[in-house]
Structure 1
Amino acid sequence: MPSHSPAPLISLTWTDHVTGTKGYLVVDRLVRGVSSGGLRMRKGCTLAEVTGLAQGMTMKEALHFDADDTLARYVPLGGAKGGIDCDPRDPAAYGVLVRFLRALRPYVENVWTTGEDLGLGQDLVDRAAEEAGLVSTVQAVYPLLEDEREARRRLSDAFAVTVGGIGLDELAGGCGVAESTLAALDRAGVAHSGTRVSLQGLGTMGGATARFLSEAGLTVVAVADVKGTIANPAGLDVEALLAARDAHGAVERGALRAEDQELPGDAWLGADAEILVPAAVSYAVDAVNQASIRARWVVEAANMPVLPEAEALLVERGITVLPDVVVNSATNAWWWWTLFGDVGPDAEEAFRHIRRSMRILVDRVLERAAADGCTPRAAAHALATDRLPVMADRFGWYG
Structure 2
Amino acid sequence: MRAFEATQHFFDVAAEHLNISAEMREALLTPKREVQVRVTIERDNGRLANYVGFRVQHDNHRGPMKGGLRYHPDVDLDETRALASLMTWKTAVVDLPYGGAKGGIGVDPSELSPREIERLTRVFVDQIHDIVGPDTDIPAPDMGTDHRVMAWFRNQWEKYHGFNPAVITGKPVEEYGAKGREEATGRGVGTLTGKLCKRLGYKPEKTNIAIQGFGNVGSHAAKFLSESQFPIVAVSDISGTYYDPKGLNVPSLLHHKLGHPRGLMEGYHQCQCLPVNALLELNDVQVLIPAALGGVITEKNVGNIKASVIIEAANGPVHPAADKALSDRGVTVLPDILANAGGVTVSYFEWVQNRQHYRWTLDRVRQELDHTMNQAFENVWQTAQERNVSLRTAAYIIGITRVRRSAELAGFAS
Q: TM-score range by the shorter chain?
A: 0.7 to 0.9
Q: Quote the residue 1:149 is aligned against.
A: none
Q: Quote the residue 1:71 is aligned against.
A: none
How large is the Cα RMSD of the aligned pairs?
2.7
Q: Quote the residue 1:300 is aligned against.
A: 312
The alpha-carbon deviation at position 273 of structure 1 amounts to 0.9
Of 162, 165, 178, 2:190 maps to 178
The alpha-carbon deviation at position 387 of structure 1 amounts to 1.2
Q: Secondary structure at the match of 1:45?
A: coil
- Deviation string 1:17-45 (CA, Å, 9 cap, x unpaired) is 45332221110011476210001111122
Q: Secondary structure at the match of 1:170?
A: coil
Do residues 100 (structure 1) and 124 (structure 2) align?
A: yes
Q: Is the 8 A contact 2:281 2:305 kept in 1?
A: yes
Residues in 2 aligned to 1:153 and 1:16: alpha-carbon distance in whole angstroms: 25
Q: Secondary structure at the match of 1:186?
A: helix
The alpha-carbon deviation at position 122 of structure 1 amounts to 1.9
- Aligned partner of 1:372: which letter? R
Q: Quote the residue 1:8 is aligned against.
A: 31
Q: Quote the residue 2:201 is aligned against.
A: 189
Of 87, 106, 111, 1:57 maps to 87
The alpha-carbon deviation at position 16 of structure 1 amounts to 2.4
The alpha-carbon deviation at position 96 of structure 1 amounts to 2.9
Q: Quote the residue 2:112 is aligned against.
A: 91
Q: Quote the residue 1:120 is aligned against.
A: 145
Residues in 1 aligned to 2:172 and 2:369: alpha-carbon distance in whole angstroms: 21
- Aligned partner of 1:100: which letter? F
Task: Please say which of residues 175-184 and 340-349 is displaced more in the overlay.
Answer: 340-349
Q: Secondary structure at the match of 2:74?
A: coil
Of 236, 239, 250, 1:227 maps to 239
Of 277, 300, 306, 1:288 maps to 300
Residues in 2 aligned to 1:302 and 1:175: alpha-carbon distance in whole angstroms: 14
Q: Quote the residue 1:265 is aligned against.
A: 276
- Aligned partner of 2:121: which letter? L
Query: Are the structure 2 counterparts of residues 153 and 304 from structure 1 closer, same or farther at C-alpha, using a change threshold of 3 Å?
Result: closer
Query: Are the structure 2 counterparts of residues 269 and 153 from structure 1 closer, same or farther at C-alpha, using a change threshold of 3 Å?
Result: closer
Q: Quote the residue 1:386 is aligned against.
A: 401
Contiguous gaps of at least 5 residues in structure 2? 1-10, 16-24, 41-47
Q: Secondary structure at the match of 1:313?
A: helix
Q: With the length of structure 2 as denominator, give the TM-score of the two structures.
A: 0.82
- Deviation string 1:93-119 (CA, Å, 9 cap, x unpaired) is 613333222211112236221111011
Residues in 2 aligned to 1:141 and 1:84: alpha-carbon distance in whole angstroms: 17
Query: Are the structure 2 counterparts of residues 208 and 141 from structure 1 closer, same or farther at C-alpha, using a change threshold of 3 Å?
Result: closer
Q: Secondary structure at the match of 1:283?
A: coil
Q: Is the 8 A contact 2:57 2:101 kept in 1?
A: yes
Higher relative helix content: 2
Query: Are the structure 2 counterparts of residues 280 and 154 from structure 1 closer, same or farther at C-alpha, using a change threshold of 3 Å?
Result: closer
Q: Is the 8 A contact 2:290 2:313 kept in 1?
A: yes
Of 49, 65, 72, 1:35 maps to 65
Q: What does 1:214-363 correspond to in 2, within 5 Å?
A: 214-245=226-257, 246=260, 249-254=263-268, 256-257=269-270, 260-271=271-282, 272-341=284-353, 345-363=360-378
Task: Please say which of residues 120-129 and 339-348 is displaced more in the overlay.
Answer: 339-348
Contiguous gaps of at least 5 residues in structure 1? 66-74, 143-151, 162-167
Q: Is the 8 A contact 2:64 2:97 kept in 1?
A: no
Aligned pair count reads: 369
- Aligned partner of 2:145: which letter? L
Residues in 1 aligned to 2:195 and 2:103: alpha-carbon distance in whole angstroms: 31
Residues in 1 aligned to 2:308 and 2:64: alpha-carbon distance in whole angstroms: 38
Residues in 2 aligned to 1:156 and 1:346: alpha-carbon distance in whole angstroms: 15
Residues in 2 aligned to 1:104 and 1:394: alpha-carbon distance in whole angstroms: 30
Query: Are the structure 2 counterparts of residues 137 and 253 from structure 1 closer, same or farther at C-alpha, using a change threshold of 3 Å?
Result: farther
Query: Are the structure 2 counterparts of residues 175 and 33 from structure 1 closer, same or farther at C-alpha, using a change threshold of 3 Å?
Result: closer
- Aligned partner of 1:269: which letter? L
Q: Quote the residue 2:22 is aligned against.
A: none
Residues in 2 aligned to 1:321 and 1:155: alpha-carbon distance in whole angstroms: 38
The alpha-carbon deviation at position 137 of structure 1 amounts to 8.9
Q: Quote the residue 1:374 is aligned against.
A: 389
Q: Secondary structure at the match of 1:20?
A: strand
The alpha-carbon deviation at position 346 of structure 1 amounts to 2.2
Query: Are the structure 2 counterparts of residues 32 and 312 from structure 1 closer, same or farther at C-alpha, using a change threshold of 3 Å?
Result: closer
- Aligned partner of 1:12: which letter? V
Q: Secondary structure at the match of 2:344?
A: helix
Residues in 1 aligned to 2:380 and 2:123: alpha-carbon distance in whole angstroms: 40
Query: Are the structure 2 counterparts of residues 127 and 287 from structure 1 closer, same or farther at C-alpha, using a change threshold of 3 Å?
Result: same
Q: Is the 8 A contact 2:207 2:286 kept in 1?
A: yes
Query: Are the structure 2 counterparts of residues 280 and 141 from structure 1 closer, same or farther at C-alpha, using a change threshold of 3 Å?
Result: closer
- Aligned partner of 1:224: which letter? S
- Deviation string 1:116-164 (CA, Å, 9 cap, x unpaired) is 101111223323542564668964489xxxxxxxxx99995654x4xxx
Q: Secondary structure at the match of 1:295?
A: coil
Of 37, 51, 65, 1:21 maps to 51
- Aligned partner of 2:33: which letter? I
The alpha-carbon deviation at position 83 of structure 1 amounts to 1.8
The alpha-carbon deviation at position 294 of structure 1 amounts to 0.8
Task: Please say which of residues 91-100 and 41-50 is displaced more in the overlay.
Answer: 91-100
Q: Secondary structure at the match of 1:368?
A: helix
Q: Secondary structure at the match of 1:281?
A: coil
Q: Secondary structure at the match of 1:284?
A: coil
Q: Secondary structure at the match of 2:140?
A: coil
Residues in 2 aligned to 1:320 and 1:191: alpha-carbon distance in whole angstroms: 16
Task: Please say which of residues 188-197 and 341-350 is displaced more in the overlay.
Answer: 341-350
Q: Secondary structure at the match of 1:253?
A: coil
Q: Is the 8 A contact 2:31 2:58 kept in 1?
A: yes
Residues in 2 aligned to 1:353 and 1:127: alpha-carbon distance in whole angstroms: 28
Q: Quote the residue 1:148 is aligned against.
A: none
